[in-house]
Amino acid sequence: MAESADVVVAGAGPAGAAAALVAARAGLRVVLVERGPFPGSKNMYGGVIYPRVLDTLLPRWWEEVPVQRWVTRRATMVMTGTKALTVEFRGEDWDAPPYNGATAYRADFDSWLAGKAADAGAELVCSTTVTGLLRDGTGRVTGVRTDRPDGDIRASLVIAGDGVNSFLAKEAGLYEDWSVTHFTVGVKEVLALPREVLEDRFNLTGDEGLDIEILGGTQGIPGGGFLYTNLDTIAVGVVLSLAGLRDSGKRPEDIIAALKDHPAIAPLVRGGELKEYSAHTIPEGGMDGMPHLAADGMLVAGDAAHLCLASGIWLEGVNFAIGSGALAGETAIEAIGSGDTSAAALSGYRRRLENSFVLANHRKLRGAHKLILGKRAQTVYPELACGIAQRVFTVTDPQPKAGLRRWVHDERKRGGVRLRDIVKDGWVGWRTFG
Amino acid sequence: MGVPRYIAAALKWVDLRPEVDPLAGTVRHDTRTSGLSLADAAALEWALRLGESWQLPVAAITAGPPEARAVLRDAAGFGPTRLVHVAADRDAPSDAIARALAPLLAGAAVVCCGDYSADRGSGSVPAFLAHHLQAAQALGLTSLAPEHPGSLVAQRRLDGGRRERLQVSAPAVISVEPGAAQLRRAPLSGLLAAGRAAVETAAADQAPEYGSRVHLLRTTSYRPRPKVLAPPRDQLPRARLLALTGALSERMPPRVVRAAPEQAADQLIGYLTDNGYLG
Amino acid sequence: MNQDVAPLPGSHYDGLSFEDRMATVEFRVAARPHITVDSDVCRSCTTKACVHACPAQLFVPTSDGGVLFNYEQCFECGTCYMVCNTEGALTWSYPEGGHGVVFRRS
Ligand SMILES: Cc1cc2nc3c(=O)[nH]c(=O)nc-3n(C[C@H](O)[C@H](O)[C@H](O)COP(=O)(O)OP(=O)(O)OC[C@H]3O[C@@H](n4cnc5c(N)ncnc54)[C@H](O)[C@@H]3O)c2cc1C
Ligand code: SF4
Ligand code: SF4
């Protein structure tokens, strides 16, 4: 006999947990199904969560969220084979509530957030994989199948928060043009360092943290690198375009090894003992790879809906997952309240997303991934920036300094960078990030 | 002993992936990697099978810290009639565990246990338990076949590849090897109900201690084995030497103890003792 | 800050084999493989992209031009099916609930 619920949520990642939390709070019967033995056990990411999205959902979340360190400094490092140029920013009030970002392990964070949904009344079922959709004769989604004996669950609405490989969105036919070019893969190492060494090395005190995003450290494969500080570990890894990796013939762990050997990174990771190695894919197509967000009886949120920004210099997704999950939850309440969960009745979801930071940011950054993953941003500009920086910092006495204009000109010539391209990319970049 | 009324599964909550600090030898536990060992899962499966075949209710019982209730929630997915938790220390010795469990298992036809736990257990809890219950014991079983209610035929390994077949009559305590059965998957309805299932907390009134001539005086902490490291890759002998010795490279800053010589000495000895180097 | 320093001696020395690397990860291996590879199809594949791209190094080319695959230490990431150009070479699904990779610090 099939179980039944108002809403069944597939996946207890940030998207699924937020959706379940919102729907359960409104008194709906919610079953939250997770395939891992505990929420977060299947999930890896770079390492920084930007949790301001929780302000309305869980006021004073910072008093209990399980974090490693509060990010008080963010740096972007642009690197070439042997050089690196770092621009660092210290947030004045990032070390006090409401904070800006925090490093956390997903096993801790996702378990915590799913626990909040369970506290609100959602029934969390772990170690259970959703294996497919239940549908009626018209094709409308009426529930899910799981790999448990008697494992069907009927529901008025299914919310797919099942992440980047979303089998549910695929089965519902929501991806119009699925392409490998919309994806990257992230691999990372978590390295243990004694806390004193770590704080000394990164110049941190108390629970302050530093995050470094790296451009140009991926052996010519479009992508980026990152290095984040946890309490007594650091996370170092790379995000690689899948098509680029496929064609490169290179191995992911060798690319991390090369990054760790870079003179700018080696002193930071030296002596770290590997605690966990991990890999996960990322939807990076932005708006271009986005599926339809609703079918009859079903909504898609988080990575499953490609609501993720991870184009090299920033890695954000947990915040968008929580944001979109919460809005899917709100849409569920409205639709179930009105007794209509057809795709048309669920169109409020897209509208809600458009009006929130979720789609606003995606619209704004549409195309950013092409710019960041393009050849010029990956190799040419890092050379240019590092070259100029080297000249700026090199003391040429007794020769007088040539001056910035001259340096830029020389480096541009040396790297074969056309002024036209800089202007073009600058224009695209300004429109995208400005 | 009266008419057997139920089958019991005595389950241990154990960390399946504990972490040992390579320097200090201290063990760190994580509730997320803790649960049933494969042997205990096989024991639960056999408890369910015996319950089905003899039409007896099944009870799941655990002795351990409050977190140990997690294994009862796992068992609850299969619909046992009773879930009982007895408070006990994580590292309590086998006989203490057996004495805590025994008063609660008096009416059991068969108590099913795993043969030994993953955390260097000695497998002696079932033996102590059988003693306190004055029940038959058949330990380290590789397969079972229930016969008419209250009787089963079991097999276990001996040395030299020999096998031993046993006929066992209730009341009995059995322990099974991990391969004796694979735990079935709980149905979804069971899993949903498990979240609401009630767990009884039993008072830890211990069975009387039996006159042992062996007494545990003290257990020292783990001493981790030395780690084998691959030789350095560098070409130059000097570089290899530096890599091996760690000279010229950054290392963990020493903790500086500022105290009078006697106190400093005490701290030093305390540290070495705590970490298992002195003993 | 512009860093251009030679690596310190010893900084390359971590002596970690790929097996040791994978041993840092917990896998609760399921009885049934969640990914299967049809080695006959792979024989006609010219890229063998899975072999170098799989972060867990689970695809091993064989002397007869096929590939050998072992599902046990899989991250369930999806890289293999995304880089594979050949229809029908791979079937890909998630392992039975509760099994497979378990991350704790990622
Ligand atoms: C290398 C890398 C670095 C990243 N860095 C960052 C970062 O620093 N900051 C940031 O904010 N974001 C980062 N992201 C992005 C972020 O991880 C994702 O956007 C976010 O996790 C998406 O959340 P989600 O809930 O949609 O999906 P997920 O977190 O993937 O959760 C999906 C859940 O569904 C479960 N599931 C899947 N299928 C099924 C099924 N069939 N049945 C049952 N359960 C199922 C999974 O086990 C999982 O728990 C990074 C991603 C990667 C890969
Ligand atoms: S799995 Fe795909 S990529 Fe790998 S060898 Fe087979 S056909 Fe080629
Ligand atoms: S899913 Fe990832 S880890 Fe598993 S086989 Fe494919 S590429 Fe390798």
Same domain, A400 and A345: no
Of the ranges A15-24, B66-75, B89-98, C51-60, which one carries the lowest mean pLDDT score? B89-98
Residues A374-433: pLDDT tens digits?
Answer: 777 777 777 777 676 676 666 666 666 666 667 677 777 777 766 666 656 655 555 555
Q: Tell me which amino acid residue C52 is.
A: H
Question: Residue A144 is inside which H or E element, if any?
Answer: strand A141-146
8 A C-beta contact, residue A308 and residue A288: no
Total domain count, chain A: 3
- A342 is a domain residue: yes
Let me know whether A151 and A246 are in one domain: no
- Domain around A224: 181-283
Q: What is the C-alpha to C-alpha distance for residues B278 and B267, in angstroms, rounded to an integer?
A: 13
Q: From the CA of C42, which ligand is nearest?
A: 2
A327 — contact with chain C (CB < 8 Å)?
no
A80 domain residue, yes or no: no
| Nearest Cα to Cα of residue B141 among B90, B173, B180, B86 | B180
Q: Is the pLDDT of residue C4 over 50?
A: no
Tell me: do A227 and A134 sit in the same domain. Answer: no
Query: Are residues A115 and A210 both part of a single domain?
Result: no
Residues A240, A122 share a domain: no
H-helix or E-strand containing A228? strand A223-229
- What's the complex ipTM? 0.88
Ligand 2 centroid to residue C89 C-alpha, Å:
6
| A42 and A137, same domain (yes or no) | yes
Distance from CA of A1 to the nearest CA of B (A): 9
| Domain end position, chosen among A222, A248, A283 | A283
- For residues B32 and A428, the model is more confident at B32
- Does residue A88 lie within any of the structural domains? no
Radius of gyration of chain B (CA): 24
Q: Is the pLDDT of residue A369 over 70?
A: no
Which CATH number characterizes residue A46's domain?
A: 3.50.50.60
Angstrom distance (rounded) from CA B174 to CA B46: 10
Q: Which amino acid is at C8?
A: L
What Å distances lie between residue C31 and A194, A286, B159, C72, CA to CA? 39, 37, 29, 9
- Atom 2 of ligand 1, residue of closest alpha carbon: A45
Under a CB-based contact definition with an 8 Å cutoff, are residues C10 and B242 in contact?
A: yes
Residues with a CB atom less than 6 Å from ligand 2: C 37, 41-42, 45, 47-50, 59, 67, 84, 86, 89-90
Cβ within 8 Å, pair A266-C7? yes
Question: DSSP class of residue A377?
Answer: I
Residue type present at position A147: D
- Report the candidate in B145, B168, B143 with the shortest Cα–Cα distance to residue B156: B143
Is residue A264, in this structure, part of any structural domain at all?
yes
| Interface touch C13/B30, C-beta < 8 Å | no
* Ligand nearest to the CA of residue A147, numbered in listed order: 1
- Do A196 and A259 have their domain in common? yes
Q: Tell me which residue of B120, B118, B156 sits closest to B137, measured CA to CA.
A: B156
Sign, CA torsion B114/B119/B120/B121: negative
Cα A433 from Cα A99, distance rounded (Å): 22
Residue C19: pLDDT over 70: yes
For residue C100, give Cα distances in angstroms to A35, A42, A314, B182, C56: 10, 9, 29, 17, 13
Is residue A200 very low, low, confident or very high in pLDDT (cuts 50, 70, 90)? very high
Domain presence at residue A82: no
User: Which residues does ligand 1 sit against, CB inside 6 Å?
Assistant: A 10-16, 33-36, 39, 42-43, 45-49, 129-130, 161-164, 167, 186, 239, 280, 282, 302-304, 308, 310, 315-319, 321; C 94
Measured from the Cα of C90, ligand 2's closest atom is 1
* Side-chain half-sphere exposure of A104, counting CA atoms within 13 A: 22
Q: Which of A41, A150, A201 lies at the smallest CB-CB distance from B189?
A: A150
Min mean pLDDT across A334-348, B11-25, B64-78, C42-56 is at: B11-25
Domain residue limits, chain B: 6-206, 237-274
d(CA B189, CA A99): 42
The size of the A-C interface in CB pairs under 8 A is: 159
Nearest CA in chain A to C25: A276
Rounded to whole angstroms, the Cα distance separating B259 from A324 reads 57
Domain's final residue, options A283, A314, A332: A283
Residue A404 has a pLDDT of 65
Using pLDDT thresholds of 50, 70 and 90, give the confidence band for residue B254.
low
Do A110 and A11 reside in the same domain of the chain? yes
Q: How far is the CA of A21 from the centre of ligand 1 (A)?
A: 17
Pick the closest to residue A410 from A371, A383, A431 (CA basis).
A383
Dmax over CA atoms of chain B, in Å, equals 79
Encoded tokens for A68: 């490693």
Average pLDDT, integer, range A212-229? 92
Q: In this structure, what CATH number is given to the domain that contains residue A191?
A: 3.30.9.90
pLDDT in tens, A406-422: 767 777 777 776 666 66
Q: How far apart are CA B105 and CA A267, in angstroms?
A: 60
pLDDT at B107 over 60: yes
DSSP per position, A269-324 = HTTPEEEEEEEEEEE--GGGG---SEETTEEE-GGGGT--B-SSS--B-HHHHHHH
Judged by CB atoms within 8 Å, which residues 216-235 of B form the interface with C? 229-234
Could you read off the pLDDT of C74-105 as tens digits, one per residue?
A: 999 999 999 998 989 999 999 999 999 999 99
pLDDT number for residue B4: 58
Is C77 in Cβ contact with A275 (below 8 Å)?
no
Full DSSP string of chain B: -----EEEEE---EESS-EE-TTT--EE--GGGEE--HHHHHHHHHHHHHHHHHT--EEEEEEESGGGHHHHHHHHTT--SEEEEEE--TT--HHHHHHHHGGG-TTEEEEEEESS-TTT--S-HHHHHHHHHT-EEEEEEEEEEE-STTEEEEEEE-GGG-EEEEEEESSEEEEE-GGG--PPPPPHHHHHHHTT---EEE--PPPPPP--S------PPP-PPPPP-PPP--SSHHHHHHHHHTTTS--PPPPPP-S-HHHHHHHHHHHHHHTTS--
Cβ-defined contact of C10 to B242 (cutoff 8 Å): yes
- pLDDT over threshold 50, residue C8: no
Q: Which CATH fold would you assign to the domain B6-206?
A: Rossmann fold (3.40.50)
- Which residues in chain C are closer than 8 Å to A13, comparing Cβ atoms? none
- Going along chain C from its start, the domains and CATH numbers come out as 18-102 (3.30.70.20)
With contacts defined as CB-CB under 8 Å, which chain C residues touch A270? 8, 10-11
Determine the Cα–Cα distance for residues B3 and B193; give it in Å rounded to an integer.
30
Judge whether A31 lies within some domain.
Answer: yes
CA angle in degrees (0–180, nearest 5) for A250-A316-A233: 70
